[in-house]
Structure 1
């Protein structure tokens, strides 16, 4: 996809991966970025950074779970700024709990934001893209959309659902010249992640690395943009040795459960390996 002169709408644009994607697209020569999130102040800060690049920026502070408000806002945006060529669904929330301690309000919020909000916005924009017979939709899933993680059951479920949704839309919308892709980053160093207990041995990527990988993926005809060597390793391990991957996840999960002594020794060795100065790198492998 040639980004020059395009109009892109990004949800979750006030922080984390969404913010990094907005700034990266600004550097790629898009004409206008429509920034969507709930925090009006943070959106304005991102917009000012983008406008400093010479790119037009519009902010839309809205709750994506409010269907009527979203419908009105998108109609106004489309009327004011013309066709949206690129939609990036990045808004999401995550809670970490063992399943037996999970809370219904948190479950409802994850389902509402991660799935229903994405569905509502995508439906409104995809119908307009179909009438124009052009467009690209990127749904941000996660490595957890491929490999479910203990203590993250609901979040993993929503990310698996996003992949299924993306695959179905890719086939349905192809006749309208609309491309639908999934972005699958591994653990990324964002505000949301800092509130979680990290899995052992997992090295967080930066949002900027994810954003750059997305731009590379947009230029390729690939349905899924898998980001980071850890993601590729985990997916291949799941294909070739699923039992081994389950064992690794059980050991790595931040459950606080006691582990056999030989596994504890293995963990100490792995910790030493990954914290040695000669292994400081984290990179985004080109999809």
Structure 2
């Protein structure tokens, strides 16, 4: 039986990808950020997932305002990095897990989630930067990847409540998959930032850290925050944090925090990183 081995929440700041690609990770500005990622890399190297489900948003790359699915699940064998205007990132092609993807699609749709099934798609920095955060610069990604793209660009985006429930349905689907597959769920985006308008450059560290506290201990409470509160407190792009709730829903109610890291600034955003595992069941002893 397949199982969820843990979850990672990470910002997908495009400048992080540029720092990796340009060999700048040890420069004074970036070194604290990449040092803070090391424990997450150690965890992923130790746990060795077979598949990572990466929950991210497309930035008008593969999708546009002409076609904006709320939840789009990739079922392809491979995904090419998208050219976002300055050439594709020099990263490996993402290898898919089509059998598990189709199983997820069937299970989620029968659970009444209106999933858009995508047989051919490119992936932008929203997906490739989290892979670089966890795996560095390999010649090939060490696991298969299932892209799950969430609309947080065009109003109306899904609520945190819906994202949390989607994560719960994903766990149910994974545990019903008969093959012995170890799955990590990666929620991406956020935390507080705004890229345009009068509040461009907004970073709300107090809100971010309180949100991270509650995300771990009281996810149902975090999921109740509506769009207006998230926009007001975290900025227009801070709304991306709802994608972390898909990851949180795929885990048990009680989790262990393997690693937590928060840093300001990373480019013009706040950078957040969490690694979570289900609380281990108690050992049974005999008397």
- What TM-score do the two structures reach when normalised by structure 2? 0.30
| Between structures 1 and 2, the one with greater helix share | 1
| Between structures 1 and 2, the one with greater strand share | 2
The structure that has the greater radius of gyration is 1
